[in-house]
Structure 1
């Protein structure tokens, strides 16, 4: 979906790519990009005057396409707009451009939550009208794309110790921290960064402070990946399943575009 250029309901911000956002080669990391996606979303809420009325959002899925790396000393241009709605959730696109040609595209499925109960809550009519200004999709439904891998046939099972700084004010691992697992995997498999890469994370339940998180790795070779989509049978798909004991918390998938 291209950016609705010039549309008044496309929210835009710019800021520098800083040292804390890059890995050893200078590339904008996935976890840093997703922190920026969170941050521009909060800025967008504040700009719309909805930060107090809709303060709590739960991300169900984030899909990020690394088209061209954005590298250190660049300026990030973030544009955010709605690409689909229902009365309790929405999908929001964020495109991150670097002035030197780097590009990261993303779409996230956000659930508006009651801040006291954590359950899905209705989006107010005035807010919904604003969201719908950039999309014709008003009956958005949730459909999971990914399936958790099993311990029994995992290629690798790695402990992923949590740090106190990973935990947010709700005693959950912050959304962006899930993406550090992706960076950990890419550091050991840099060949995946040779071309455009899609990474998707779907959340089933929150990882809480004190949990003993483990990551189950599965690699599905080309020809065995039809369950991920008919158009993906010609490439490998890697899944990383986030588990605490026998409980699945999230699933990630990585494949070349």
Structure 2
């Protein structure tokens, strides 16, 4: 596997798990039938649900589920290092890799304990105020608890992706929004955006067979009734300097999630 380079951007190196460490949240559960594709691989949309689930479990374990109940994810970077296969036992670990007073980056490592599969992820989470629905300060004691696994205490948001247009797209297709895709915020749930990625990757099985990085950024919510279109672009090697100097040697595929002319989300897909 060729390593990406840089501490930020699409080629960033993810923080390794500080294990053993008392503040790494560690849980296990079986890989379920509903979470696999036709070949038995843990799908990325299912991994995104696991990332959400362990976040809620950690909040409950830390005693902050009542005081910090609402979070939205702004970006998730997910590395499929080795496919995790059906009938495996998942070991899911979560810890903070950077924070400020209203948001944090949380690392998740998902290991297949029996067969050796591995998914690495990092998500940028924003703490939301229930009344205003806007970013909210975390309590000092909660922030201090997060900071026990990182020294990054001035985390800033910076978008890694820019939208692609319809005029030069490799393909465009509509993605129907279902009632069951909508969550507590009355928006399409984060994991459904990853279903779009899986739908796209179904036409390129060779990408899933190799170490792969997918980065997904959320710009605006998708609502029930929206006509969501997925605008795909393929950037061949040598044309990808826009994504950072470490990616000029590989093909980068992008997906722009659009409702009319409004960009809702962006994804970048490339081999590691």
Give your verdict on TM over 0.5: yes
Shift of 1:170: 1.9
1:50 aligns with 2:69: no
Could you tell me how far apart the structure 2 residues matched to 1:53 and 1:169 are?
17
Q: Deviations over 1:232-254 (max 9, x none)?
A: 00000000000011100000000
1:160 aligns with 2:175: yes
Aligned residue for 1:188, secondary structure, equals: coil
Shift of 1:153: 1.1
TM-score (norm 2): 0.93
Could you tell me how far apart the structure 1 residues matched to 2:47 and 2:66 are?
25
> Partner residue of 2:198?
183
Could you tell me how far apart the structure 1 residues matched to 2:158 and 2:108 are?
20
Which has the larger displacement, 26-35 or 108-117?
108-117
1:30 aligns with 2:41: no
Shift of 1:33: 0.4
TM-score (norm 1): 0.99
1:198 aligns with 2:232: no
Match of 1:21 among 27, 35, 43: 35
Could you tell me how far apart the structure 2 residues matched to 1:28 and 1:104 are?
9
Shift of 1:52: 0.8
Could you tell me how far apart the structure 2 residues matched to 1:183 and 1:85 are?
30
Could you tell me how far apart the structure 2 residues matched to 1:116 and 1:255 are?
39
Q: CA RMSD in A?
A: 0.7
Aligned residue for 1:95, secondary structure, equals: strand
> Partner residue of 1:10?
24
Gaps of 5+ in 1: none
**Superposed, which structure 2 residues align to 1:206-221 within 5 Å?**
206-221=221-236
Gaps of 5+ in 2: 1-14
Shift of 1:178: 0.4
> Partner residue of 1:110?
125
Shift of 1:124: 0.4
1:64 aligns with 2:101: no
Could you tell me how far apart the structure 2 residues matched to 1:185 and 1:222 are?
20
Shift of 1:169: 2.3
> Partner residue of 1:119?
134
1:92 aligns with 2:106: yes
